[in-house]
A and B are shown apart, each in its own frame.
Chain A
Amino acid sequence: MKAVAAALVTVEGLSISAGGHVLQHDLNFEVRAAEVLAIIGGSGCGKSTLLRSLVGLDAPTAGHVRYGGTDLQAASPAELAAVRRGFGVMFQAGALWSSMTVGENVMLPMEMFTKASAEERTQRARKHLADVGLADAFDLDPSALSGGMRKRAAIARALALDPPLLFLDEPSAGLDPPTSAQLDTLLMSLRDGQGMAIVLVTHELDSVFAIADRVLFLDAQTHTMVPPASPRWLRDHGPTAVQAFLRGREAHSASPASEVAA
């Protein structure tokens, strides 16, 4: 039996809201080392908002996000900066810095937080870009990249400091199937090769079944989560609405969280 890895992130009693509306409440889960945790759910259930709370961009209305012994909500600016250097984030549209080349985007975190020389930074940035299939994009402006290339470049930037944890917001959205499959392969190699934990928000069920170790389902109707489990288990034995969602049909009427509670 596979041993349960240590928790990198612990979420306790988290409530998130947007525009005065509660999106989710009483979220409790953890992110373990060397796992891919997929956050799924219908549109507007708060997936991206949850991701922003996990990385400290949005303050939750209640609860705690802990990285090791550091509570994100109570952390000093210095502690927050230290925690943030321990993970990489890829935003939905890439969010590459438009005033820099792709290579400079990847090198900036190294320039800020490492003592690597300019030559070392260049080599490492080229390697990260090659890992995501963008070896020739080093000197290009972000505006010259397609949507899929921007996402891959953003992943290369998120990997710049070789963090143990990666957050990805809709990495496969808008990508053609071969590119999406390449991205899945890359994420699996990061998990299996480097022991990296990956938290991804996604709508792509193919990716979920291909790479996710556990799935966290956010219910837009009851505003609560279904406890994380493997995608196949949830598809075959989970609450009805989650089964329907994972079989490709949106949950409409059932309330999976209450079923689990029952």
Chain B
Amino acid sequence: MNPSALPLDPPSPSAIGGVCTRVLRQTGEAVLRITHLTAGTLNFLGQVLQSLGRLLRGQSQMRAKDLLMQLDETGPRSVPIVALVCGLVGLILAYMGAAQLQRFGAQSFIADLVSVGVVREIAALMTGVILSGRVGAAFAAQLGAMQANDEIDALRVMGIDPIDHLVLPRVLALTLIAPMLTAMGALVGLAAGWLVAVSTFGILSADFIARSAQALTVNHLLVGLGKGTVYAMLVGLAGCRQGMASGRSAQAVGQATTQAVVRAIVWIVAAASVLTVLLQRLDW
């Protein structure tokens, strides 16, 4: 007789109890972990808001030169990669959209699809995702390395608030630069869509521009730029939060960097979902 065909013994009550205990313990640990994580994030957010309040009251320890340096780090240096990705995504959107619309003889609506899609959603989303990989990860790595080298403690012990000095310029720089990067990404995406429409699907250039102008409203523009700003702020907060909470080893800094990117992307997607539904409901 094949031993594998033998009927299994029913699990003993003690084994069932052990499994239940393990499941309960793991559930409890997960709940505690999530609670701790959420409390830490909310505490960090509170500190950033307090720091922003000090800035508005003229009591901040943030230096203007640090903000300018971060603007330079996050803005101009992100332009090529944002342009490349937004251009390619605009091209894909136009090509796939036109191919589907062509089946119904409606390829002239490609301009509506590309202009509204890119300006309202795609440019902001892609800019946010790129910034999370390029800038958010850099923030986490910089601050994590500073934590490991006692540089943040050296600030604290001198009475210099690390949130004012390190976090606020980074988050502000990213928030200020985001509308410009998003607008630039949208322009490049539109240009890529126009290229596909004109060169592949025979749409007249003037028709594309006219339809785009007709389809796009100020609301679309404001929503796109607003979303880009919110996503960039989330990237900045995620990067700085992970960097400031990093451990003091090289491994911990690596983990903080990875978590910064993952967290930023999750926050962006969650924010995109909420904003999209909310703005549609508000008929914006």
Q: A98-B145, A98-B146, A112-B61 are in contact. Are A91 and B158 (CB under 8 A)?
A: no
Task: Please determine whether A55 and B157 come into contact, CB atoms closer than 8 angstroms.
Answer: yes
Assembled-state Cα–Cα distance A98/B150 (Å): 11
Residues in B neighbouring A113, C-beta threshold 8 A: 159
B interface: dominant SS = helix
Q: Tell me whether A84 and B159 are in contact in the complex, defined as CB-CB below 8 angstroms, given that A91-B154, A95-B150, A96-B151 are known contacts.
A: yes
**Chain B CB within 8 A of A147 CB:** no
Q: Is B160 a contact of A112 with CB atoms below 8 Å?
A: yes
A→B interface (CB under 8 Å): 52, 55-57, 80-82, 84-85, 89, 91-93, 95-99, 108-109, 111-113, 157
In the assembled complex, which residues on chain A have CB atoms less than 8 Å from the CB atom of B158? Answer: 84-85, 89, 108-109, 112
Complex: A117 Cα to B149 Cα, angstroms: 30
**Which residues from chain A contact B150 at a C-beta distance below 8 Å?**
91-93, 95
Instruction: Confirm or deny: B156 has a beta carbon within 8 angstroms of a beta carbon on chain A.
Output: yes
Per the bound structure, the CA–CA distance linking A96 and B149 in Å amounts to 8
- From residue B165, how far is it (CB to closest CB) to chain A in Å? 9
Report Cα–Cα, A57/B157, bound state, in Å. 7
Contact with A along B123-166 (1 / 0, CB 8 A): 00000000000000000001001100111011111111000000
Return chain B residues, CB-CB under 8 Å to A81: 159
Residues in B with CB closer than 8 Å to A84 are: 157-159
Q: How far is the CA of A96 from the CA of B151 in the complex (A)?
A: 6
A157: which B residues are within 8 A, CB to CB?
A: 154
Tell me the count of chain B residues lying within 8 A, CB to CB, of chain A: 16
Task: List 12 A-B pairs, Cβ < 8 Å.
Answer: A81-B159, A85-B159, A89-B157, A91-B154, A92-B150, A95-B151, A96-B154, A97-B146, A97-B154, A97-B155, A109-B160, A112-B61
Chain A residue contacts of B153, Cβ below 8 A: 52, 57, 91, 95
B150 (CB) vs chain A CBs: closest residue: A95
| Cβ contact of B149, chosen from A55, A95, A108, A111, cutoff 8 A | A95
Q: Given known contacts A96-B154, A97-B151, what 10 new A-B pairs fall within 8 Å (CB)?
A: A57-B153, A89-B157, A93-B149, A93-B150, A95-B153, A96-B151, A97-B146, A98-B151, A99-B142, A109-B158
B159, A95: Cβ atoms closer than 8 Å: no
* Complex-state Cα separation, A245 to B192, whole angstroms: 75
Cα–Cα, bound, A80→B160 (Å) = 11
Q: Is the interface of A mostly helix, strand, loop or mixed?
A: mixed
Contact of A56 with B160 in the complex, beta carbons under 8 Å: no
B149/A98 in contact, CB under 8 A: yes
Shortest C-beta distance, A211 to chain B (Å), equals: 23
Binding site for A on B (CB under 8 A): 61, 63, 142, 145-146, 149-151, 153-160
Q: With A and B bound together, what is the CA distance between A95 and B156 in angstroms?
A: 12
B159 and A57 contact, CB distance less than 8 A: no
How far does the Cβ of A36 sit from chain B's closest Cβ, in whole Å? 20
- Are B151 and A108 in touch, CB under 8 angstroms? no
Q: Closest Cβ of chain B: how far from A198's Cβ, in Å?
A: 16
Please indicate the chain A residues that have their CB under 8 angstroms from the CB of B146 in the complex.
97-98
**A92 cross-chain contacts in B, Cβ below 8 A:** 150
Closest 4 CB pairs of A and B: A95-B150, A81-B159, A95-B154, A84-B159
Cα of A52 to Cα of B159 in the assembled complex, Å: 14
Instruction: Specify which chain A residues have a CB less than 8 angstroms from the CB of B145 in the assembled complex.
Output: 98
Q: Is the CB of A108 within 8 A of B160?
A: yes
Residue of A nearest to B160 (CB): A112
Cα–Cα, bound, A93→B159 (Å): 20
Task: With A93-B150, A97-B151, A98-B151 as known contacts, state yes or no: A56 contacts B157, CB within 8 Å.
Answer: yes
Name B158's closest neighbour in chain A (CB-CB).
A109
Contacts of A111 in B (CB 8 A): 63
In the bound assembly, the distance between CA atoms of A152 and B149 in angstroms comes to: 16
Cα separation A218 to B248 with both chains bound (whole Å): 25
A56 to B160, CA, bound (A): 13
Residues of B contacting A97 in the complex (Cβ-Cβ under 8 angstroms): 146, 151, 154-155
Instruction: A85 to B151: give the CA distance in the assembly, Å.
Output: 17
Give the chain B neighbours of A80 by CB distance below 8 A: 159
Within the assembled complex, what's the spacing in Å between the Cα atoms of A57 and B155? 11
Q: How far is the CA of A113 from the CA of B155 in the complex (A)?
A: 13
B51 → chain A closest CB, angstroms: 12
- Specify the chain B residue showing the minimal Cβ separation from A169: B150
Nearest CB of B to A225, in Å = 23
- How many angstroms between the C-alpha atoms of A113 and B146 in the bound complex? 22
Q: Which residues of B contact A56 (CB under 8 A)?
A: 157
A46 vs B157: C-alpha distance when bound (angstroms)? 19
Instruction: Give A98 to B147 CA distance when docked, in angstroms.
Output: 12
User: How distant is the Cα of A229 from the Cα of B227 in the complex, in angstroms?
Assistant: 65
Most chain A CB atoms below 10 A, which of B63, B150, B158, B160: B158
Q: Tell me, rounded to whole Å, the shortest Cβ–Cβ distance linking A214 to chain B.
A: 23
A107 to chain B, nearest CB (A): 11
Chain B proximity of A73: nearest CB distance (Å): 16
